[in-house]
């Protein structure tokens, strides 16, 4: 599709209509996965490993099977063995252990029974004997010479050749000569950082209802960030044909990356097949924390050199991410996510490390917050050392179009400089720092992705439109689809019904991830609308007896010189005699997702007696390309900021020496509440993405990247202490303050 | 399993139901009465997604045993709108984009109603503390606080 300039004077883009799915959500009618019930359904309970690492010697289900209400039990033995190189291998092992429990909470067996209580009682009666193995819990332990293996079956898909280790990925990136540049720099700052695992913390626990028939077909209702992914992975794990599984998306109660994978569905499908009944499976909060994806922890060393006038000449960084018991790409992506700045010389070494902790999952700009915490902290030290304004230092080095990313590819048109300038001119930054407080600034970015999307737009007889997409709406994307449709067709936004359609009602669509829904699925919607407008012109030409090229589509009506305009409704009501129903479908693999940059600013006070950090003012600036629905762009910025604040100041997985999480509930894994934070002021910068018809850049993820550096920098300027370990919680801040005194 | 007969008033209507003794009010609402607006986010009273009003007082229905509802008044999200009129809080939440995924929204609306019933003109700080028992992971609370401020103005006819 040809890109257009971002014209001013859109009728619908940039407006703030009430979202189409809002009413049901404020009256309690919206159906999330746990709100669905089928007649005769069974309930599940899981047997989970009490050890962080153990060989499963035997599983005896006989007593449990004989208990009241029990209809089916599955264990790892019920799953097909996949080739270790199968893309679903790790997920398959994660949803049900095969012979070895790899973390505390790893699923060992699951029971389906008539009631939840009966299922729980039977799960408790499943007898499992274990041979406890050494558990590897930290990056230091895992990378130590001769370390025990966290996962003996780590088949080293992406790891260096040689004897098995706990290394899953090793990513070296280099350009120029960092060592030489650092030796010649006027100032070199080096610091070490670490961070604990944190959870995405969606309020809706994972849930599904599965009804598998004797005909080999299965219906799945669940909440996820991608129901086509649920279908593909469930089919892949169980060795089924994709088309035999239908997945209907329920409303999703938060995901943030954590619902881009599968936990319950294949297990519930097997239980449904074994019992011949529908199965409803809902995780408890404790299960969510113990067995679903936290974000990785990390350990990093970052060294940056600069000239005395503030030119950053080299970055030398060593970054390790603890991935849990299975490999993924976090280390690699973390290394790639560092280059917001020009850095002519770069030496990066990133590691993905296996530990006996839950399999990590994506969390909003996965792995970038860790890297940004480290790099933005060191850059702030340079600003302090050189007595430079932290925004000016960043402006001097900010990447612009054509500058190379860490992988060596040039940035497309990006808005980092514009974000820095917007913060510099903001009321917040222009105001004096309040007495007793101090101010921190930091930046962040995320690549964003395109991927595959489909959309179908059906024009109804009365001139309204129904828009079907396959992208679960996790933050207002239905409103965005309706706004883009309204702008294209020229009809009222409320004449449009945006629908997240099931796997049999719309074309294949990748997961809602990588801030891609409004960008890529929106692009498919616009393409379908443009095809429809072509067809509407043909119909109008038929009605008027002219050639289609004599018809112009303006503001929702077909215009032919010398004739009265024909509205969309006038054309659809005559569809039967002009060629039949009006419908169009577009599918694409979207290229050109625009990277999104953000810069945050916080004023904080630090209580020197308790170590408590209080945020008194916070501003988030972000490049949205074009804000389709500004309220939901602000919502992404504010939500991402507050998740980042929680990550920075308070949230952490606390494991005991045996690898058992000690705070597996919302009381002790405490996410920010309303009284912890101030208003989050937002400034939306709009540097249009030339690869989207309206200039959209994804906005979902970048907002979580800057808060850690922002707060660390504010604490440094308040206390003189550089916090290098997340969370920067009161006990840790207090300990550093007392060291300093 | 023994079951207890419970008579109570839910959203202005007298209701009778049978419940297992060990059942929470949340389970009874959702499973016996089909009122699915209250959500289970944690089951331990930490997230507020299951908030309802019990005799006008905000409670986590996951921490109330179902038989405890005997003879009492329960208001759930399904009872917040009056006839064909949305409650001002429902309107300001919609208009102010104070919800994203929406799973916490019923709990926040009831917590906000309880707050405004007790304190019709709260400060921002009072709103933040009044809502501190409810977790939202999407919005960062900003637009929720503003929606409660707007509704407070409307309810006072100011």
Residue B1 is predicted with a pLDDT of 61
Residue B43 is predicted with a pLDDT of 97
Residue A260 is predicted with a pLDDT of 96
* Biggest CA pair distance of chain A: 88
Residue A98 is predicted with a pLDDT of 95
Query: How far apart (Å, rounded) are the C-alpha atoms in residues A538 and A475?
Result: 37
User: Which residues on chain A are in Cβ contact (under 8 Å) with B125?
Assistant: 675
Where are any strands of DSSP class E within A492-610? 496-500, 551-554, 557-560, 566-567, 583-590, 596-606
Q: Which of A203, A475, A671 sits opposite B49 (nearest CB)?
A: A203
Overall average pLDDT of the B82-88 stretch: 91
pLDDT tens-place string over residues B3-15: 999 999 999 999 9
Cβ atoms of residues B86 and B68 within 8 Å: no
Residue A3 is predicted with a pLDDT of 36
User: Which residues on chain B are in Cβ contact (under 8 Å) with A707?
Assistant: none
Residue A4 is predicted with a pLDDT of 41
* Cα A681 off chain centre by: 22
Q: Which helix (H) or strand (E) holds A524?
A: helix A522-544
User: Which residues on chain A are in Cβ contact (under 8 Å) with B113?
Assistant: none
Residue A5 is predicted with a pLDDT of 43
CB–CB of B141 and A642 under 8 A? yes
Say yes or no: A39 contacts chain B, CB-CB below 8 A: no
Residue A359 is predicted with a pLDDT of 96
pLDDT tens-place string over residues A306-364: 999 999 999 999 999 999 999 877 666 776 777 799 999 999 999 999 999 999 999 99
Q: What is the CATH number of domain B88-155?
A: 1.10.150.120
Residue B124 is predicted with a pLDDT of 98
Question: Torsion angle of alpha carbons A403, A409, A413, A417, nearest 10°?
Answer: -40
Query: How far apart (Å, rounded) are the C-alpha atoms in residues A726 and A729?
Result: 8
Say yes or no: B35 contacts chain A, CB-CB below 8 A: yes
Residue of A28, A286, A682 best to disrupt the B interface, most CBs of B under 10 A = A28
Q: Which of B77, B125, B136 sits opposite A27 (nearest CB)?
A: B77
Query: How far apart (Å, rounded) are the C-alpha atoms in residues A384 and A360?
Result: 36
User: Would you say residue A550 has pLDDT above 90?
Assistant: yes
Number of helices followed by number of strands (H, E) in chain B: 5, 5
Residue of B90, B127, B137 best to disrupt the A interface, most CBs of A under 10 A = B137
Map out the domains of chain A with their CATH numbers. Answer: 22-30+450-590 (3.30.365.10), 34-134+203-291 (3.90.1170.50), 367-448+594-740 (3.30.365.10)
Task: Among A322-336, A702-716, B130-144, name the one with the lowest average pLDDT.
Answer: A322-336
Q: Which of B44, B80, B99 sits opposite A25 (nearest CB)?
A: B99
Cβ atoms of residues B114 and B57 within 8 Å: yes
Share the mean pLDDT of chain A. 95
Bond from prior residue into B61 cis (ω within 30 degrees of 0): no
CB burial of residue B100 (10 Å; 0-12, 13-18, 19+): buried
Q: What is the CATH number of domain B3-79?
A: 3.10.20.30
- Rounded to two decimals, the pTM is 0.97
* Cα A712 off chain centre by: 23
Angstroms from A202 CA to nearest CA on chain B = 6
Q: Report the candidate in A68, A58, A78 with the shortest Cα–Cα distance to residue A274.
A: A78
User: Which residues on chain A are in Cβ contact (under 8 Å) with B137?
Assistant: 200-203, 254, 256, 639, 643, 671
Share the mean pLDDT of chain B. 96
Beta carbons within 10 angstroms of residue A609's beta carbon: 9
pLDDT tens-place string over residues A177-226: 999 999 999 999 999 999 999 999 999 999 999 999 989 999 999 999 99
Residue B21 is predicted with a pLDDT of 83
Angstroms from A283 CA to nearest CA on chain B = 10
User: Would you say residue A8 has pLDDT above 70?
Assistant: no
Cβ atoms of residues A472 and A224 within 8 Å: yes
Task: Pick the residue from chain A with its C-alpha nearest to B125.
Answer: A675
Query: How far apart (Å, rounded) are the C-alpha atoms in residues B56 and B4?
Result: 24
Query: How far apart (Å, rounded) are the C-alpha atoms in residues B107 and B32?
Result: 20
Query: How far apart (Å, rounded) are the C-alpha atoms in residues A612 and A635?
Result: 27
Residue A1 is predicted with a pLDDT of 33
ipTM over 0.85: yes
User: Would you say residue A241 has pLDDT above 70?
Assistant: yes
Cβ atoms of residues A358 and A103 within 8 Å: yes
Return residues 72-131 of A near B (CB < 8 Å).
Answer: 117
User: Which residues on chain B are in Cβ contact (under 8 Å) with A23?
Assistant: 94
DSSP structure string for A70-118 = EEEEEEGGGSPPPPTTSTTHHHHHHHS-SSEE-STT-EEEEEEESSHHH
Record the tokens describing residue A189, joined without a space: 């700052």
CB–CB of B132 and A674 under 8 A? yes
Q: Where in chain B are the domains?
A: 3-79, 88-155
Q: Which of B95, B109, B138 sits opposite A254 (nearest CB)?
A: B138
CB–CB of A667 and B133 under 8 A? no
Cβ atoms of residues A651 and A727 within 8 Å: yes
pLDDT tens-place string over residues A249-276: 999 999 999 999 999 999 999 999 999 9
pLDDT tens-place string over residues A377-424: 999 999 999 999 999 999 999 999 999 888 888 999 999 999 999 999
CB–CB of B129 and A674 under 8 A? yes
pLDDT tens-place string over residues A588-644: 999 988 899 999 999 999 999 999 999 999 999 999 999 999 999 999 999 999 999
Cβ atoms of residues A366 and A294 within 8 Å: no
Residue A407 is predicted with a pLDDT of 82
User: Which residues on chain A are in Cβ contact (under 8 Å) with B133?
Assistant: 673
Record the tokens describing residue A602, joined without a space: 């916080």
Residue A385 is predicted with a pLDDT of 98
pLDDT tens-place string over residues A142-176: 999 999 999 988 766 666 677 789 998 888 999 99
pLDDT tens-place string over residues A75-85: 999 999 999 88
């Amino acid at each position: 599709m040809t890109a257009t300039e971002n014209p001013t004077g859109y009728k619908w883009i940039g407006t703030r209509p009430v979202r189409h799915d809002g009413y049901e959500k404020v009256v309690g009618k919206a159906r999330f996965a746990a709100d669905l019930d089928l007649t005769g359904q069974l309930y599940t309970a899981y047997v989970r490993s009490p050890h962080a690492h153990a060989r499963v010697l035997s599983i005896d289900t006989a007593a449990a099977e004989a208990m009241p209400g029990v209809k089916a039990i599955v264990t790892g033995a019920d799953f097909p063995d996949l080739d270790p190189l199968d893309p679903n291998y790790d997920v398959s092992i994660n949803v049900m252990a095969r012979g070895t429990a790899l973390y505390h909470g790893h699923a060992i067996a699951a029971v389906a029974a008539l009631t939840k209580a009966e299922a729980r009682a039977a799960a408790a009666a499943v007898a499992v004997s274990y041979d406890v193995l050494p558990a590897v819990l930290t990056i230091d332990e895992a990378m130590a010479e001769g370390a025990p293996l966290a996962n003996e079956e780590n088949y080293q898909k992406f790891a260096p050749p040689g004897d098995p280790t706990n290394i899953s990925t090793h990513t070296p990136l280099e350009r120029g000569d960092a060592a030489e540049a650092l030796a010649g720099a006027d100032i070199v700052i080096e610091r070490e950082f670490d961070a604990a695992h944190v959870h995405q913390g969606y309020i809706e626990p994972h849930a599904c209802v599965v009804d598998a028939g004797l005909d080999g077909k299965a219906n799945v209702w669940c909440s996820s960030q991608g129901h086509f992914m649920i279908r593909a992975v469930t089919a892949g794990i169980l060795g089924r044909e994709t088309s035999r599984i239908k997945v209907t998306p329920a409303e999703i109660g938060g995901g943030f990356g954590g619902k881009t994978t599968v936990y319950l569905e294949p297990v519930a499908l097997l239980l449904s097949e074994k019992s011949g009944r529908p199965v409803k499976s809902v995780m408890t909060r404790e299960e969510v924390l113990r067995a679903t994806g936290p974000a990785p922890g990390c350990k990093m060393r970052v060294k940056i050199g600069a000239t005395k006038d503030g030119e950053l000449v080299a970055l030398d960084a060593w970054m390790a991410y603890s991935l849990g018991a299975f490999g993924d790409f976090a280390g690699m992506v973390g290394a790639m996510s560092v280059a917001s700045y020009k850095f002519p010389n770069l030496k990066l070494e990133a590691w993905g490390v296996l530990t006996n902790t839950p399999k990590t999952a994506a969390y909003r700009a996965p792995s970038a917050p860790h890297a940004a915490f480290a790099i933005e902290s060191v850059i702030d030290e340079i600003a302090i050392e050189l007595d430079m304004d932290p925004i000016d230092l960043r402006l001097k080095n900010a990447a612009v179009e054509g500058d190379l990313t860490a992988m060596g590819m040039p940035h497309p048109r990006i808005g980092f400089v514009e974000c820095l300038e917007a913060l510099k001119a903001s009321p917040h930054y222009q105001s004096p720092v309040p007495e007793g407080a101090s101010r921190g600034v930091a930046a962040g970015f995320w690549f964003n992705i395109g991927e595959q999307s489909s959309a179908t737009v059906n024009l109804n007889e009365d001139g309204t439109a129904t828009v079907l997409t396959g992208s679960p709406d996790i933050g207002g994307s239905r409103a965005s689809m309706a706004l883009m449709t309204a702008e294209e067709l020229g009809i009222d936004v409320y004449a449009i019904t945006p629908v997240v359609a099931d796997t049999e009602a719309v074309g294949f669509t990748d997961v809602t991830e990588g801030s891609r829904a409004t960008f890529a699925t929106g692009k498919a919607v616009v393409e379908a609308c443009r095809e429809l407008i072509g067809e509407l012109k043909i119909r109008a030409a038929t009605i008027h007896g002219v050639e289609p090229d004599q018809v112009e589509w303006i503001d929702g009506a077909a215009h032919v010189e010398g004739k009265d305009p024909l509205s969309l409704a006038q054309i659809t009501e005559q569809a039967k005699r002009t060629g039949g129903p009006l419908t169009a479908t577009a599918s694409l693999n979207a290229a050109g997702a625009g990277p999104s940059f953000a810069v945050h600013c916080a004023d904080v006070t630090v209580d020197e007696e308790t170590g408590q950090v209080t945020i008194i003012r916070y501003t988030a600036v972000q490049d949205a390309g074009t804000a389709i629905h500004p309220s939901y762009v602000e919502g992404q910025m504010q939500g991402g900021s507050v998740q980042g604040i929680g990550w920075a100041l308070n949230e952490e997985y606390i494991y005991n020496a045996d690898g058992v999480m000690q705070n597996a509930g919302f009381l002790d894994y405490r996410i920010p509440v309303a009284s912890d934070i101030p208003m989050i002021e937002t400034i939306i910068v709009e540097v249009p993405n030339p690869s989207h018809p309206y200039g959209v850049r994804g906005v979902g993820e970048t907002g979580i990247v800057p808060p850690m550096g922002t707060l660390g920098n504010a604490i440094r300027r308040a206390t003189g202490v550089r916090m290098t370990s997340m969370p920067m919680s009161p006990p840790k801040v207090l300990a550093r303050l007392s060291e300093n005194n | 399993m023994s079951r207890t007969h419970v008579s109570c008033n839910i959203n202005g209507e007298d209701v009778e139901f049978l419940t297992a003794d060990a059942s929470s009010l949340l389970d009874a609402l959702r499973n016996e009465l089909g009122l699915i607006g209250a959500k289970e986010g944690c089951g331990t009273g930490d997230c507020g997604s299951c908030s309802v009003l019990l005799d006008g007082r905000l409670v986590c229905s996951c921490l109330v045993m179902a038989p405890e509802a005997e003879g009492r008044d329960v208001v759930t999200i399904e009872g917040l709108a009056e006839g064909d009129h949305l409650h001002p809080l429902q309107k300001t939440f919609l208009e102010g984009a104070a919800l994203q995924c929406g799973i916490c929204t019923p709990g926040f609306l009831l917590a906000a109603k309880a707050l405004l019933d007790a304190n019709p003109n709260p400060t921002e700080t009072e709103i933040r503390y009044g809502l501190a028992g409810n977790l939202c992971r999407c919005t960062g609370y900003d637009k929720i606080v503003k929606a409660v401020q707007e509704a407070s103005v409307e309810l006072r006819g100011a």
